[in-house]
């Protein structure tokens, strides 16, 4: 297992109760071209002395599924996964889709059965045994640009905000552009004029967005956040300021944007140093960041080198 840098600008971050390692091993066993890149465990003593951070569970995990990077950790049962954020996977053959579907469905639940639909000859939406949602579609990966990409669904009080959110995010991240927007029409189950499906690039990465076609509320939670890797304090300040406008600050570099989606704004220094096998220095870093909202690179450096 190699320690690597966070190579994506934006990385989905999964919050588990205490099953992150089990989930990571499951995912890399079913997706091709996949591996765990980093795995650090919570020590006996931690700056977060609660039942939520159980010694021996995952403090910091990084894994790659078919070329797309995820992060994960165990931090207690406060938040549950729901389909408001899912992961859209595109494969070219029936066999690939059906094999992956059966593995994800084992212990999970089909939200939309694997079948032929107007938009794809083979598509399904499934929640796996851990509660994480996946949408599988037969298609050309070249149409998306990557095998797996996040899909953010706006529902409840956020229903109708998908297009505004996409434009908001594209204005924040460099190397961003709209790929396409399809709206619900009068014959669709969703509210006419809202976003049925949209695709864009954020920092060069594929993202999809949609408004929920039904009235059921699936609020965003911290169970899935987006980890933004920042080169320096200037970038940390920029993203923090952009996302907290009409949003809200949390602790340890976490925040919620104006739509309720959670983000982590993290300097490269912290990402890289936490990946090293230096338990005492890791503890110093966690102690320092536990007292912060927006992360302060100078204070983190001082803690690390003390």
- The pLDDT value recorded for residue 1 is 39
In DSSP terms, which residues pair with 264 in a beta bridge?
227, 254
Check: pTM over 0.85? Answer yes or no.
yes
Task: Answer yes or no: is 180 within a domain.
Answer: yes
**CA 10 to CA 6: how far, in whole Å?**
9
pLDDT band at 50 (very low <50, low <70, confident <90, very high): low
Task: Answer yes or no: is 53 within a domain.
Answer: yes
Task: Answer yes or no: is 223 within a domain.
Answer: no
- The pLDDT value recorded for residue 45 is 72
Task: Answer yes or no: is 3 within a domain.
Answer: no
Higher pLDDT, 144 or 223: 223
Decide if pLDDT at 58 tops 50: yes
What order of strands is seen across the sheet that includes strand 177-183?
Answer: 109-117, 120-127, 133-138, 85-91, 148-154, 205-211, 195-202, 177-183
Decide if pLDDT at 4 tops 70: no
Query: How confident is the model over 72-131, as pLDDT tens digits?
Result: 999 999 999 999 999 999 999 999 999 999 999 999 999 999 999 988 999 999 999 999
Same domain, 42 and 135: no
Query: How confident is the model over 9-29, as pLDDT tens digits?
Result: 999 999 999 999 999 999 999
- What share of the chain in percent tops pLDDT 90? 86
Same domain, 266 and 291: yes
Task: Answer yes or no: is 41 within a domain.
Answer: yes
The whole-chain average pLDDT of the chain stands at 94
Task: Answer yes or no: is 66 within a domain.
Answer: yes
Query: How confident is the model over 68-84, as pLDDT tens digits?
Result: 999 999 999 999 999 99
Based on the structure, what is the number of domains in the chain? 2
Same domain, 71 and 103: no
Same domain, 41 and 144: no
- The pLDDT value recorded for residue 146 is 95
- What residues make up the domain containing 42? 10-77+228-305
Same domain, 66 and 102: no
CATH number at residue 47: 3.10.180.10
Task: Answer yes or no: is 219 within a domain.
Answer: no
- The pLDDT value recorded for residue 48 is 61
Domain boundary among 145, 177, 211: 211
Q: What is the mean pLDDT of residues 197-213?
A: 97
CATH number at residue 184: 3.30.720.110
Same domain, 120 and 150: yes
Decide if pLDDT at 2 tops 50: no
């Amino acid at each position: 297992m190699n320690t690597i840098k966070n190579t994506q600008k934006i990385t989905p971050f999964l919050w588990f109760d205490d099953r992150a390692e089990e989930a990571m091993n499951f995912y890399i066993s079913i997706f091709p071209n996949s591996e765990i890149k980093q795995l650090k465990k919570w020590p006996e003593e931690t700056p977060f002395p609660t039942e939520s951070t159980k010694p021996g569970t995952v403090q910091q995990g990084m894994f790659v599924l078919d070329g797309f990077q995820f992060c994960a950790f165990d931090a207690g049962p406060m938040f549950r996964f729901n389909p408001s954020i899912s992961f859209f996977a595109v494969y070219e053959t029936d066999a690939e889709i059906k094999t992956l579907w059966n593995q994800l469905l084992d212990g999970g639940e089909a939200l939309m059965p694997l079948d032929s639909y107007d938009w794809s000859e083979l598509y399904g939406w499934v929640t796996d045994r851990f509660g994480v949602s996946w949408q599988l579609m037969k298609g050309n990966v070249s149409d998306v640009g990557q095998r797996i990409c996040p899909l953010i669904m706006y529902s409840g009080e956020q229903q109708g905000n998908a297009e505004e959110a996409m434009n908001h995010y594209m204005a924040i991240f460099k190397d961003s552009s709209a790929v396409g927007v399809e709206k619900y029409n009068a014959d669709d189950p969703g509210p006419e004029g809202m976003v049925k499906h949209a695709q864009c690039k954020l920092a060069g990465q594929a993202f999809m967005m949609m408004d929920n076609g039904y009235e059921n509320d699936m609020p965003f939670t911290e169970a899935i956040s987006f980890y933004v890797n920042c080169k320096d304090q200037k970038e940390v300040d920029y993203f923090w300021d952009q996302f907290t406008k009409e949003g809200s600050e949390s602790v340890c570099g976490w925040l919620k944007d104006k739509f309720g989606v959670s983000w982590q704004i993290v300097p490269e220094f912290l990402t890289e140093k936490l990946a090293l096998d230096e338990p005492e220095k890791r503890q110093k870093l966690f102690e320092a960041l536990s007292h912060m909202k927006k992360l302060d690179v100078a204070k983190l450096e001082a803690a690390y080198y003390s």
